[in-house]
Amino acid sequence: MTTFNELNISQPIMKALEKMGFEEATPIQAETIPSALEGNDVIGQAQTGTGKTAAFGIPLLEKIDSGQRKIQALIVAPTRELAIQVAEEINRLGKGKGIRTISVFGGQHMERQIKALKDGPQVVVATPGRLLDHMRRKTIRTDNVQTAVLDEADEMLNMGFIDDIRDILKNIPAERQTLLFSATMPKEIRDIATNLMNNPKEVKVKAKEMTVENIDQYFIEIPEKHKFDTLTNHLDIYAPGLAIVFARTKKRVDEVTDGLQTRGFRAEGIHGDLTQGKRMSVLNKFKNNRVDVLVATDVAARGLDISGVTHVYNFDIPQDPEGYVHRIGRTGRAGRAGEAISFITPRETAQLHLIEKVTKSKMKRMGPPTFQEARRGQQQAAADKLRRTIDKKDLQEYHETATELLQDHDSVTVVAAALKMLTKERRNAPVNISSVQPISVKKAQRSRDNKGGRSGNKKFYGKRGQGGRSQGGRNQGGRNRKGNYQKRQNNRRPNS
């Protein structure tokens, strides 16, 4: 256990940490902060939800001269919502030191961003495409940048973003400190990373599995055409707090969302074809519990820190193991428990095994829940409602009517009627989801075996998403909480 005190952190930042409820440093923070404070380049790898943001945020903030209203640190993140979220956390950490952090990303008015940039923030968090735009327009000047950070580094150095990242780094003074963080770092990507850095220290928090151990992982083997009913049955039985459902394409996200709404769930979809305004409003509703199920492409797979997510569903199995790690890492954050349920079609069992092998974790088989079990789940939810009402103990004025009812009927019948009225009748309208090809493991495996060469890699990763440019980020979130944590995770690319 390491306290922040032992890490030589300045008073204003210590105060911020206290305010945020951080009592002790997480392992990745304990291991990277001292090295980064010494000025080293660092590659930091630790599981999802283990505080990597503060691990790079604290050292970069310590170096900033808040009297100077010039950009001194640049953080690059793959999606807009993540850029927003990271900026929020860095702002919280740096506020007491008078440091201002803003985010800039595609899909937002340039003029508005230029105005914010003129205000003299010392830290800018950006998606790559928009950052390059600002660099070309000289609305972002890099002469005073001392620290460059790639959050979700393996994603940023992947096919979609690598060219932009090279251009960005070329424009930042060579004496800079470079910090790279992610829950996953495939070897071939690490090699690329090392070339862009100055003798980096590699810190990998040791963990048995790549995934977080407090996430219970399950798989359900089912044919494609039964996925949707299985999903709604499962949601009924286990009544998650907040759930994220990952689907492979934007079209499937739309279809699953529509289907869930038809069946009475408070669901919304998020993917890269939506306007930025819509993306933000959907995410905000999800964070404020006005939406219970977020259906998403991989645009929501990385980095997002939303408290209250208890279940992650892989409606479609991800294309690579790193993607799996990041997706399921949206739950089980900062030491909390979570569940991940992956739907596997019979032809995708090889992909399941590949994921298990690479992540060194095991998914337990679960039978598909039946409609009867789902009905029972709905009744349980009604019974819970009844129990909560009983607990409130303000039923006096109903006693007389209740007694009358019990004179005419036995108590079980009366309670059964009340339950029937409270049970959410699931509209069982048929829902059709257009089918997709099963994931072929051969392709993924081939490129994995073809280590070393960028071309092999390209083939593998090239599938996901085209063109790295401001695909989009998003998300904010970042809530602080006390105490315990856990870690690790993996990643993939927002093709949405």
Ligand X SMILES: Nc1ncnc2c1ncn2[C@@H]1O[C@H](COP(=O)(O)OP(=O)(O)OP(=O)(O)O)[C@@H](O)[C@H]1O
The alpha carbon of residue 355 and the mean position of all alpha carbons in its chain are separated, in whole angstroms, by: 18
Question: 464 touches which of Mg ion, ligand X, none (CB within 5 to 8 A by kind)?
Answer: none
What is the 3-state composition of the chain as percent helix, strand, coil, each rounded to the nearest 5? 45, 15, 40
Report the residue number whose CB is nearest to ligand X.
Answer: 51
Per the DSSP assignment, residues forming a β-bridge with 178 are: 148
Scanning residues 326 to 365, which ones bind ligand X (CB under 6 A)?
329, 333-334
d(CA 319, CA 85): 26
Regarding 52 and contact with ligand X (CB under 6 A), the answer is: yes
Backbone CA torsion sign across 305, 307, 310, 311 = negative
Backbone CA torsion sign across 446, 449, 453, 458 = positive
Regarding 287 and contact with ligand X (CB under 6 A), the answer is: no
Regarding 95 and contact with ligand X (CB under 6 A), the answer is: no
d(CA 6, CA 173): 31
Question: 183 touches which of ligand X, Mg ion, none (CB within 5 to 8 A by kind)?
Answer: ligand X
- Given a contact cutoff of 8 angstroms between Cβ atoms, the answer to whether 438 and 426 are in contact is no
**Least distance from C-beta 77 to ligand X, angstroms?**
9
Question: 51 touches which of ligand X, Mg ion, none (CB within 5 to 8 A by kind)?
Answer: ligand X
Scanning residues 15 to 54, which ones bind Mg ion (CB under 5 A)?
52
CB atoms within 10 A of CB 138: 8
- Given a contact cutoff of 8 angstroms between Cβ atoms, the answer to whether 56 and 32 are in contact is yes
Kindly tell me which of 162 and 334 has the beta carbon lying closer to ligand X: 334
Regarding 329 and contact with Mg ion (CB under 5 A), the answer is: no
Among 57, 303, 318, 323, binds Mg ion (CB under 5 A): 303
Q: Which stretch binds ligand X (CB under 6 A): 21-29, 37-45, 132-140, 372-380?
A: 21-29
CB atoms within 10 A of CB 8: 10
DSSP structure class, residue 249: S
Kindly tell me which of 73 and 267 has the beta carbon lying closer to Mg ion: 73
Non-local (6+) Cβ contacts of 223 within 8 A are: 345, 346
Q: Give the contact letters, 172-191, x = binds to ligand X (CB under 6 A), - = no.
A: -----------x--------
The alpha carbon of residue 445 and the mean position of all alpha carbons in its chain are separated, in whole angstroms, by: 25
Among 188, 305, 339, 348, binds ligand X (CB under 6 A): 305
Number of residues that bind Mg ion (CB under 5 A): 2
Kindly tell me which of 263 and 330 has the beta carbon lying closer to Mg ion: 330
Among 9, 13, 16, 25, binds ligand X (CB under 6 A): 25
Q: Give the contact letters, 132-171, x = binds to ligand X (CB under 6 A), - = no.
A: ----------------------------------------
Per the DSSP assignment, residues forming a β-bridge with 103 are: 125
Kindly tell me which of 178 and 491 has the beta carbon lying closer to ligand X: 491
Regarding 57 and contact with Mg ion (CB under 5 A), the answer is: no
Structure tokens at 288: 């404020």
d(CA 267, CA 291): 6
**Sequence-ordered alpha helix ranges (H) in 119-247:** 128-137, 153-156, 162-170, 187-195, 227-238
Strands (E), 29-94: 42-45, 73-76
Strands (E), 335-462: 338-344, 364-365
Question: 424 touches which of Mg ion, ligand X, none (CB within 5 to 8 A by kind)?
Answer: none
**Least distance from C-beta 92 to ligand X, angstroms?**
8
H/E stretch holding 53 reads helix 52-62
Q: Give the contact letters, 446-485, x = binds to ligand X (CB under 6 A), - = no.
A: --------------------------------xxxx---x
Kindly tell me which of 33 and 231 has the beta carbon lying closer to ligand X: 33
Structure tokens at 205: 């928090």
Structure tokens at 367: 């039978």
Question: 92 touches which of ligand X, Mg ion, none (CB within 5 to 8 A by kind)?
Answer: none
Question: 296 touches which of Mg ion, ligand X, none (CB within 5 to 8 A by kind)?
Answer: none
Regarding 176 and contact with Mg ion (CB under 5 A), the answer is: no
d(CA 88, CA 101): 8
DSSP structure class, residue 319: S
**Least distance from C-beta 351 to ligand X, angstroms?**
22
Regarding 106 and contact with ligand X (CB under 6 A), the answer is: no
Regarding 56 and contact with ligand X (CB under 6 A), the answer is: no
Q: Give the contact letters, 397-436, x = binds to ligand X (CB under 6 A), - = no.
A: ----------------------------------------
**Least distance from C-beta 151 to Mg ion, angstroms?**
6
Kindly tell me which of 48 and 378 has the beta carbon lying closer to ligand X: 48
Regarding 312 and contact with ligand X (CB under 6 A), the answer is: no
Residue 254, classified by CB atoms within 10 Å of its CB into exposed (0-12), middle (13-18) or buried (19+), is middle
Regarding 477 and contact with Mg ion (CB under 5 A), the answer is: no
H/E stretch holding 179 reads strand 177-182
- Catalog residues that contact ligand X under the rule CB under 6 A: 22, 25-26, 29, 48-54, 183, 303, 305, 329, 333-334, 478-481, 485, 489
- Catalog residues that contact Mg ion under the rule CB under 5 A: 52, 303
